[in-house]
Amino acid sequence: MEELQTLKTIAETLNEANDLQAMLHTVLKQLVNLTKLQCGWIFFVEKGRYSLIADYELPPALLKEEKRVMCEGDCWCLNRYNDGRLKRAVNIIECKRLEEAIAGNWGETKGITHHATVPLRAGEETFGLLNVASPHKHTFSNKELALLESVAYQIGTAIKRIKLAENEKKHALLAERNRLARDLHDSVSQLLFSLSLTARGAKEMAVDEALQVALNDIQQLAHEALQQMRALIWQLRPQGLENGLASAFMNYGKMLGLCVNVQLHGVLHLPSEIEECLWRIGQEALNNCKKHAGVSDVSILLFDEREQVRMEMVDQGRGFHYTGEETLSFGLKSMKERAEAVNGTFSLESDIGKGTKITIRIPMPRGKNE
């Protein structure tokens, strides 16, 4: 009866949830309390990288240095999960992370040395691991493991539902961007092109010199507006991003009339949020280079540094006198804000006649298991 009540309570929480991280924290707390255990934690695993996405009542030894022992290195359960051997709820004989915390004298473990682990899945799709533990508890009964499997399957199904809803929103946003890009191309861009041609034709027929100058200005303004409109359309619907950042940057630079040299250091496997952030920052940097640098060559360097991805954008153009954040233009502030939105950092080096270098550092999900 208690098992059924536990499953019912957790199912109600999962059915009402729309925010993934909040849902995982709430349901983990409910599971630990309803089963009278001490603590629990959930690892998400994507492409061999893992992250601690939720935890509840971890002992002090596992909380030290912002839970570093939980976010770095490998362990039995993750190794078995990644090589496909962890299919069901199992007892872990001993926890490597707790062993490391004890060996390092990191603090009180509250008598916790072992835990049970169960994969989170929905059908054939897997998402990560659910771990639970209690003081001086070395084994979990088959009945307890069966309950954990049932809860883990419920959680996995809820994760898939939320992810599907998020993907649907992303697809809707992409569809709206594509529609807007088409409308701008079919209407505003065509009007600007027609205006440029009309000004050119009128200039050739005009006799008055002042009128010719005015028509020439109109033609130039229309041409510049057309270029900016094409850049805006490109931002709404980037061509080539599906082939990776390097291809996208080179294609975008070509559209702007820039020669973009992209260098990759390491194999980049970026979450979509980070990839889009770097893409938008790179676009703004290339736009600035086109407008202000006075050069046609730009270098973009991308580094996979395990714990972070680093992007450097360098030109040898005019540069400017940079004295601090108060001198940042709107575009540069936008880059900084985008980086900080994903917990990254923005730095800039520039001086008159010495070019400009922009460096973006964005942390990768902590604790990746290579």
The pLDDT value recorded for residue 370 is 40
Span 66-87, average pLDDT: 84
Residue 275 pLDDT > 90, yes or no?
no
The pLDDT value recorded for residue 173 is 67
Residue 293 pLDDT > 60, yes or no?
yes
Reported as a single tens digit per residue, the pLDDT across 217-242 is: 888 888 788 777 766 766 666 555 66
Residue 368 pLDDT > 50, yes or no?
no
Span 98-112, average pLDDT: 84
Helix-strand-coil split of the chain, %, nearest 5: 55, 20, 25
Superfamily of domain 241-370: Histidine kinase-like ATPase, C-terminal domain (3.30.565.10)
Residue 333 pLDDT > 70, yes or no?
yes
Cβ atoms 147, 6 nearer than 8 A: yes
Per DSSP, the residues of 62-118 read HHHHHHHHHHSS--HHHHHHHTT---S-EEESS-HHHHHHHHTT-S--TT---EEEE
Q: What is the CATH number of domain 2-167?
A: 3.30.450.40
Structural domain boundaries in the chain:
2-167, 241-370
Two domains, one topology: 2-167 and 241-370: no
Residue 367 pLDDT > 60, yes or no?
no
Per DSSP, the residues of 226-253 read HHHHHHHHHHHS-SSGGG-HHHHHHHHH
Q: Which two tokens stand for residue 54?
A: 């939720």
Residue pointed to by tokens 């912002």: 66
Phi/psi of residue 74, nearest 5 degrees: -110, 180
